[in-house]
Amino acid sequence: MTSGTPVLAGRVALVTGAASGIGAAVARLLAGQGAIVYCADINEVGARTTARSVAASPAPLSLRLDVRDEAAWAAALTAIQGTHGRLDVLVHCAGISAASPLPETTLDEWRRVLAVNLDGAFLAVAHGMRVMRQSGGAIVLLGSASGIRAAAGAAAYSTSKAAVRMLVQVAAKECREGGLPIRINLVSPAGVRTPMWREMPFFQELVARHGSEDAAFAALAGPNGRFAEPEEIAQAVLFLVSDAARHITGIEVPVDGGYLL
């Protein structure tokens, strides 16, 4: 899907979590396929850097967006609609993780993860549906294989991503039964090589033990697997927001190298 005529030519897209990792990869791929891409992140500098790296864009388009803040969502979408009159694609990649045994997980940590991962997803879908209800569009959220197969030591993260699965199904069903021309789907990776891992103490310990990030990722993946690259996840997103998937809604696409088998 990355050769020939751009499959998203002229479409207006918003990508959250665009400062790094999967979000940055999605933003670059959609722009490479002709979309006008707004890069949004709470890390405004990172979002701007990604926007500048999008060669296909006529000008860097970036927004500071705290996905937990409803007013920020309203402002971002108002700005996009004010310029283009519509939003065709919304890819919600923003999220955080945490790793601690359940008895050691504090209520503050639990609430922080769910606020970003679940409240943020709710606001993305709710506001996306509002702006797309007339002109139509495609929404893709990022889930996780850990929302399908429980991950010990990640209760808040697994719970948040499991809830996002149901959110997508409910939203897609409401759109279908309400006659709204909006498709909503979910891409759920297993391990992906992103900067988010660097924030986790256990990963820092693995790096120290094995001598490099590459070795730490290899140790996590085990002898029969590997971590995906962000660009591989972006390809699944591109398919779901393209016309090739125009009859697909309410589904979850695991991109996991067989992890769930």
Active site residue 38: no
Contacts of 173 (CB under 8 A, 6+ apart): 250
H/E stretch holding 23: helix 21-32
Contact call for residues 246 and 240 (beta carbons, < 8 A): no
Q: How far apart are CA 20 and CA 232, in angstroms?
A: 14
Q: Would you say 164 and 118 are in contact if contact means Cβ atoms under 8 Å apart?
A: yes
Among candidate residues 157, 197, 203, 259, the one labeled active-site is 157
Beta strands in 27-98 (DSSP E): 36-41, 62-64, 89-92
* C-alpha span between 232 and 96 (Å, rounded): 20
Reported as half-sphere exposure (CB side, CA atoms, 13 A), residue 110 has a value of 9
∠ CA 256-30-134, rounded to 5°: 105
| CA-CA-CA-CA torsion sign (150, 154, 155, 159) | negative
Q: Which helix (H) or strand (E) holds 182?
A: strand 182-189
Cross-strand partners of 41:
64
CB neighbours of residue 107 within 10 Å:
7
Q: Which amino acid is at 221?
A: A
Helix, strand or coil, per DSSP, at residue 212: coil
Give the catalytic positions in this structure: 157
